[in-house]
Each structure stands twice: as structure tokens, then as C-alpha cells.
A and B are shown apart, each in its own frame.
Chain A
Amino acid sequence: MRGRSHPFTPSPLRPGKRRASRGAQLTGLAFAAPWIIGFVVFFAYPVIASAYYSLCSFDAIRPPRFIGFENYRRMFFEDDLFWKSLWNTLYMVVAGLPVGLVASLGIALLLNRKVKGMTVYRTIYYLPSITPVVATSILWLWLLNPEMGLINIALGKMHLMQPGWLTDPAWAKAALILMGLWGAGGGMVIYLAALQDVPESLTEAAALDGAGKLQQFRHVTLPMLSPVILFNLIMGLIGSFQYFTQAYVMTSGGPQDSTMFYALHLFNRAFLDFRMGYASAMAWVLFLVTLVCALLVFKTSVRWVYYAGEGR
């Protein structure tokens, strides 16, 4: 990844011949001071404290009491809900995230055509993604209502099965994924920008060589988009592992814990039971799981991500 044009890569410092002067050093520090102070107070200290709390019994009232790895032991061996919530969250990552990514890409391809009134279409597809989450949740609670909801009314009209959606443990996560699709326009914008960067000469050359539309997409457009797909995938991964608000507002984790996601379980332990040490331990496990998944994605990405700037 290093040295390539990518948002995750810090740009190499300009190879200036001058070394940083004393004045520049002070100026740089002074301008960066808000970040440095904020980083220490709202990140570095909390990270260290959280690591310590994770080894403590801590109710936020009495001082933390060191108990070693007891929180982790309980989490892995005694807390069924931990495993359940991890499973539910992985379900959203493995099933929900790819569906969302494909939908965003599909919408972007659809909106990249040159037809009249495109800005109107783009606006309509994009708006759901910036609608406040709580408002979206309430709206979909209503749309997904098993008896009165618009979705089941439509399915009934078509003589299709009408699932219980959020009231049925087997369908609740699918309902949330469906709702997520409504916001798929959010990822679309980045794809669109990248699509407009695909040189027409490339697709034209492929067409001259006899490539059909599908082959052009598979062998020209898709490779050109792959860095953006990786970006959206990583961002989506991090987001999916922290899925919280919709579940909190719509289901509180029910029915039968089928939407008890990791972040919700963690929040409840911290701020319902005030088991802050346990919640901190859960947070670290969440970080490790996210990290492992992200690293796996990066590892495989060398095989499918194409950087146009390579070898330049």
C-alpha cells in the first residue's frame, strides 16, 4: 500500500533539501496542538485506561479493583449472550455488508449513464443515506410492520410470503439488512466519482478488441474501481462491527436476542449493569476481531485490487 495514491497512506514528506528549521518546528507543533492535546486526552489516555479497566471489576462508582483476566474468562466461557451477539454481528458483516456494497455499486453504475435529468435521479437515490438514523428507524418500523406495514401489504398483493420481519427471530436481521439497502446511495457517491475517472479510451479500446459490455465491465471498469471497493469494504467492515443505533431504537436486541448486536450488548453491560470493566474487555475483543478481519481483507486485496499508478 505504501507510496500509492490512497487515503490510508500518509503522503511521503516532500524531500525538501532544507531540514525543518527551529521556527517551522514550533509553528508546526503550535498549529497541530489542538489535535495533539485532543489525541492525548480523548484517545491515548482512554485507550490505556480502557486496557486497565478490562482487567478490573469496575462499576464507575468505587475505584477499579484488579481481577486479572477474569472478565475475559467470563466473556468466553460464561456469557452466552457474548457469543450470540458476536454471531449476530458477524452475520451483518458477512451477509449484510456484501449485499450493501453490491447495491451501492449497482446504483452507481446505473447513475453513471448519460441520460437527461440525472441530477434528479441521483438526489433521490442519495437522500435516504443522509436521513437521520432515528427517523429512518421509526419510518422502517412502520414499513416493516407485519400486519399494517407497506412492505407486507405489497407482498400480500403479489401473493408472496409475508415474513414477520422484526417480530420474527429468523427474519429480524434480514429486515435490518433490507432497511440498510435503502441507504445504499451513501456509498454510491464515491463509486460515481471513481467511475468518472475511468478513461473512456480504455473501454473503447476494449470494445474495439471485441469485448462485450459485460467483458468491458469485468476486465476494465471493475479493476479500475477496485481501490474504491476496498475503501468502501474496510469502512463498511468497521461500521458493521459497531452496528448499534438501529437495533437500540427498533428492537432493543429482540426478538429472542436475534438483533442483540455486539455493540448493543456492550452498551447494556456498561450503562445498564454498570459493569464497566467487563464492557471494556468486550471492547478490546471487538477491536481485535475487527482488526483481524481488516487485515484478512488487506491480505487478499493484493490479489484483486489494481492500482493504476503502479510502476509509474
Chain B
Amino acid sequence: MSRRRWLAALDALLSHGTLIAIGLLFFLPFYWLVATALKPDAQVFAMPPVWVPHPPQWRNFPRALTYVPFGLYTLNTLRICALNVLGTVLSCSLVAYSLAKVRWKGREWVFWSMLATMILPGQVTMVPTFTIFRSLHWIGTILPLVVPPFFGNAFSIFLLRQFFMTIPDELSDAARIDGCSDLGIFTRLILPLSKPALATVGLFAFIGSWNDFLGPLLYLNDERSYTLSIGLQRFVSQHGAEWSMLSAASAVMTVPIIIIFFLAQRTFIQGITLTGIKG
């Protein structure tokens, strides 16, 4: 008995030991990012490395954020993110409803078309898409980044469809018998029941467009319309060695994502498992 308890304690100790050791490796880069961001210039390159900046240079943050207009970039990014979230949630829930709750010919076709967009590399459509937006005179505006989300994307539609399928058909059938239209069923029954899934899709859309780099790189050519990712990249190519400022700016770009993750942790994990594999 006591031997078994001793073994269990050893097992727990080993588990925690491994988890902490590897966890430190994962955490260390974050710590180093923040530590570097707070260092006076002399300590950035000090040998041996300085682990705790003393005194912490909080003014590195305002310095980095005013050196380039990061406030403006943040606003630009947020605007694009908001439109992405709106467009994705709106269009994908409509399409998912049609796939999950309406019996019509052509559903299979829609499925295969969704699969095709997932398999074909974006590079194939990149040039013609660019020329479409150019002939619309949209280059240099945010339109190429915020209009396509209003036409849905395969991943989010899949996710929402999976979720809608779990809502019993009896509910919508009953509503239909009571004279409710499909639009009514969609807005008054399906959407309210699907808040968690809609939140997941919105969350992914937000993070996706917050982190997007290629889109802004292709379409935003005016410095004043830059997003954080493109602004940060330009900052690197101009100030390659100013590590404390670069770190401060990178930390500022990362923090919102981490906060969002903590606020919406469960939504997040559910969504990934839903799209991932649970068919």
C-alpha cells in the first residue's frame, strides 16, 4: 500500500518535472521578448545576458509605438478584423444552414467546390485575383482584404455545418409546420442555438486577419493604411538591430491575441476539435 502511494507520488513528480522543463522551453521565448523590450540599450547586448532588466525601460514601449504610427496601424488592423468577422459569420452561417438544414440538389456540388478551394494552393488564384482587384481599382484600399470574407470560406462553413447538424431536425420541422419560413428558422432558432459555434468562427476570423501578412503585403501600398503585421515587417527591414524597440512592437502585437485566448479559451478548443476531426 505505502509502496504504491510512493510510486504514485514519484509518477506525479516525474510528470510535473517533464511538463515544467519542456514548458519552460516554450515559455522562455515569451519571457525573453518582454525582457528585451524592457532593457536599456546597453543591456540588450550585454554578455553574459541580463535576465532581469534594471531598471525596466517602460518608455521603450511609447518610443516604439510613436517611432512608427503603431496606433494608426492598430486601428487599421482592427477595422479590417471587424469587417472580416462580420463577413465571415454572416456568409458562412447562411451557407452552412443551406448545407445542414435544407434538402436541395447541388449540395454535393457545393461540398466538392469547398474541398477544391481547400486543396488548391492560394498561389494558383493569386495573380488573377490580383488583376481582378486592380481592374476594380481596389489596390491600395482595404476592399480586397474585407470583401472576400462576405462570400464565405470552406473551413468556417464546415465548422458551422457540423454544429448545425447537431441541432435536431424535429425543432426546425415543428417551426416549419407552424408556418415559420426558412429565414425565420435560421434567425430565430438556429442562430440563437449556435452562439458558441458562431463565436468560434468569429474568433478564428479575427485572429486570421490580425495575423494575416500576405494579404496586406499584396494590397496595401500606402503606409498610412498598413496593418500591424506589414508595419512591423517594414520596421524590421529599416531598423534591423534595434532589438528593444522591435521586441516592444512585437509584444504589443502579440498581447491582444493572448488576452483573447484567455477570454475565449473554451470556445477556441471546441472550435478546433469541431473542425479538426469529429465528423
Contact = CB atoms under 8 A, between A and B. Distances in A.
Interface stretch (A9-17, A76-84, A159-167, A199-207): A9-17
A36 interface: yes
Interface in A222-270: 227-228, 231, 238, 241-242, 244-245, 248-249, 263, 266-267, 270
A43 interface: yes
A132 interface: yes
A96 interface: no
A150 B26 contact: no
B94 A124 contact: no
A110 B120 contact: no
Interface in A106-138: 107, 110-111, 113, 115, 121, 123-128, 130-135, 138
Nearest to A145: B243
Given A131-B254, A132-B210, A133-B229, A25 B104 contact: yes
Which 6 A-B residue pairings sit nearest by Cβ, starting from the closest?
Answer: A38-B151, A28-B104, A31-B98, A46-B128, A46-B125, A10-B111
20 contacts: A9-B279, A24-B104, A25-B104, A29-B98, A31-B95, A38-B151, A42-B129, A60-B127, A110-B19, A126-B261, A127-B30, A133-B211, A134-B228, A134-B233, A134-B253, A138-B250, A227-B277, A241-B121, A263-B121, A280-B124
Contacts of B251: 135
Q: Describe A's contact surface by its main secondary structure.
A: helix
A267 B236 CA distance: 20
A170 to B, nearest CB: 23
Given A11-B279, A193-B278, A142 B121 contact: no
Given A8-B115, A133-B211, A141 B253 contact: no
B128 A45 contact: yes
A24 B185 CA distance: 13
A280 B127 contact: yes
Contacts of A60: 127, 130-131, 134
Interface string B103-143: 11111101111111111111111111111101000000000
Contact of B29 (A36, A143, A266, A279): A143
B232 A134 contact: yes
Nearest to B108: A10
